[in-house]
């Protein structure tokens, strides 16, 4: 009877000993952990943004308390259009890690952001999400070195921005609905770009505007944009609507480098950059951008 009791005690003791010596291989989830930070300012799930926009992403990582293996590395990789870039590659020796990062996407792309944390045993955990970057604004076309004459020049003064067509006085009369703007050098207002419906055009008899039956109401706003900023515009542009500003039927006293925003009768927006009004007083050379 004493022998049986002793054997039972030894069996329980041995079983207890084996249980207390649990190995890492016996741990169900021995990996470290990493999670996105939440909150209104953070992006943590698949998102669609416009080119030029920025997102804030935050991460919290921690070692596995059961294994006791501290963190050794944090890596953040952005893959955009199949090209990968390492944004962060930090060596660690700690139980936890936390970081924030602002990421700007300058152009359209299909991207994936992935963060990985590694511990001393080489175990990893990762989180990721997808970013769809769309072009900001609308698609535009650019017409360079558009030359417009003044008064009844051999080079026409009348311009269709949509068609990128220049009309002389007789041609403009036959295409009134297509004319968006008119260039002339006035006695008082110097270099002027005008809408066909501007009242001052009646003072230029050679234009024959008084006999037009269709006078498009193009409107203009002189901007603070520089010539370099105009030149940097690519295939897409975000136009600012004429909010609180109906625009003017003409812009006057224009000089080289000035940038004017316009809106056509049909609501299409565009920009005009004055390239050269100086070398010849009655000839205007412009660059024009307009919604496609």
pLDDT digits (tens, 9 = 90+) for 126-150: 999 999 999 888 899 999 999 998 7
Q: Do residues 124 and 164 share a domain?
A: no
Q: Using 50, 70 and 90 to split pLDDT, how confident is the model at 89?
A: very high
Q: Is residue 110 part of a domain?
A: yes
At 283 the pLDDT is 82
Q: Do residues 197 and 278 share a domain?
A: yes
- Quick: pLDDT tens for 215-229: 999 999 999 999 999
Q: Do residues 199 and 279 share a domain?
A: yes
- 54 is in which domain, residue-wise? 27-134
**What is the total count of domains within the chain?**
2
C-alpha dihedral sign at 17, 23, 27, 32? positive
Q: Is residue 3 part of a domain?
A: no
Q: Do residues 270 and 204 share a domain?
A: yes
pLDDT of 14 over the 70 cut: no
Q: Is residue 14 part of a domain?
A: no
Q: Is residue 7 part of a domain?
A: no
- Quick: pLDDT tens for 161-192: 999 999 999 999 999 999 999 998 888 888 99
Q: Do residues 123 and 159 share a domain?
A: no
Among 134, 166, 182, which residue terminates a domain? 134
CATH (domain of 60): 2.60.40.10
Q: Which residues contact 182 (CB under 8 A, 6 or more apart)?
A: 157, 158, 159, 193, 194, 195, 196, 201, 207
Among 103, 134, 165, which residue terminates a domain? 134
pTM: 0.64
What beta strand segments (E) does 70-135 contain? Answer: 71-80, 83-94, 96-104, 109-119, 124-134
Among 113, 134, 155, which residue terminates a domain? 134
Q: Is residue 8 part of a domain?
A: no
Q: Do residues 66 and 151 share a domain?
A: no
Distance CA 228, CA 51 (A): 20
pLDDT of 18 over the 70 cut: no
């Amino acid at each position: 009877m004493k022998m049986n009791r002793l054997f039972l005690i030894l069996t329980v003791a041995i079983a207890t000993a084996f249980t207390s010596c649990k190995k890492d291989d016996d741990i169900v989830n021995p990996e470290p952990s990493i999670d996105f930070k939440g909150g209104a300012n953070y992006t943590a799930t698949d998102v669609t943004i416009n080119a030029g926009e920025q997102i804030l992403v935050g991460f919290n990582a921690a070692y596995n308390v059961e294994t006791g293996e501290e963190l050794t590395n944090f890596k953040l990789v952005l893959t955009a259009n199949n090209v990968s870039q390492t944004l962060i590659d930090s060596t660690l020796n700690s139980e936890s890690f936390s970081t924030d990062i602002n990421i700007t996407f300058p152009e359209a792309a299909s991207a994936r952001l992935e963060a990985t944390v590694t511990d001393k045993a080489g175990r990893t955990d990762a989180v990721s999400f997808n970013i769809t970057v769309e072009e900001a604004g609308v698609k535009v076309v650019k017409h360079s070195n558009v030359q417009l004459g003044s008064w009844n020049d051999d080079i026409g003064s009348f311009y269709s921005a949509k068609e990128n067509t220049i009309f002389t006085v007789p041609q403009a009369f036959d295409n009134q609905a297509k004319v968006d703007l008119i260039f002339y050098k006035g006695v008082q207002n110097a270099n002027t770009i005008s809408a066909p419906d501007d009242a001052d055009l009646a003072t230029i008899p050679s234009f024959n505007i008084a006999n037009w039956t269709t006078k498009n109401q193009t409107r203009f706003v002189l901007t603070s944009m520089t010539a370099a900023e105009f030149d940097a515009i690519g295939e897409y542009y975000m136009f600012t609507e004429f909010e609180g500003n109906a625009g003017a039927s003409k812009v006057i006293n224009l000089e080289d480098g000035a940038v004017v925003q316009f809106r056509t009768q049909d609501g299409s927006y565009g920009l005009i950059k004055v390239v050269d009004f100086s070398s010849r007083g009655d000839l205007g050379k412009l660059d024009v951008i307009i919604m496609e």
